[in-house]
């Protein structure tokens, strides 16, 4: 059972992760690639069903900041109106689950869930789920 001090630390850690998620949304919606990538560890991994469809050889998984840069740069160029609307953030001391709506002019809105695993203040893994 957690004592009061441990519980307070867990709450603070969860809030820090939510802050990282909010910075992630800000950078993404501004299509600020440098700010977005600054949130990630150098060897971070990213999985996305859209990546799996667009680049089948990856099986939906890319690794490292350079691969992330290439993927999101292409995404921002192809979809200049892409925006994510936050619905809910749920966090503990290790990860944050983000529920959001993907909006692109001319496309139907899509509900998305994404997990950001965070260690030492950097995203080490992100996984996207559609549905």
Q: What's the CATH code of the domain at 44?
A: 3.10.450.50
Total structural domains within the chain: 1
| Contact criterion met (CB below 8 Å) for 96 and 23 | no
pLDDT higher than 90, residue 5: no
Give the whole-angstrom CA distance, residue 96 versus residue 89. 7
Q: 3-class SS at 71? A: helix
Kindly tell me the number of DSSP H helices and DSSP E strands found in the chain.
4, 6
* Residue 11's pLDDT band (cuts 50, 70, 90): low
* Residue 14's pLDDT band (cuts 50, 70, 90): confident
- Give the range of the structural domain holding residue 72, as residue numbers without chain letter: 4-130
Alpha-carbon dihedral 98, 67, 106, 84, rounded to 10 degrees: 20
Q: What's the pLDDT score for residue 3?
A: 78
* Residue 88's pLDDT band (cuts 50, 70, 90): very high
DSSP 8-state code for residue 32 = -
């Amino acid at each position: 059972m957690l004592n009061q001090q441990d519980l307070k630390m867990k709450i603070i850690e969860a809030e820090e992760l939510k802050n990282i998620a909010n910075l992630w949304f800000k950078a993404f919606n501004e299509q600020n690639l440098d700010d977005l990538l600054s949130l990630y560890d150098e060897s971070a991994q990213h999985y996305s069903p859209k990546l799996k469809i667009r680049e089948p050889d990856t099986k939906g998984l890319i690794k490292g900041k350079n691969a992330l840069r290439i993927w999101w740069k292409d995404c921002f160029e192809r979809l200049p109106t892409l925006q994510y609307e936050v619905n809910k953030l749920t966090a503990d001391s290790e990860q944050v689950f983000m529920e959001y709506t993907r909006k692109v002019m001319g496309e139907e809105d899509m509900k998305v869930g994404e997990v950001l695993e965070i260690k030492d203040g950097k995203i080490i893994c992100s996984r996207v789920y559609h549905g």
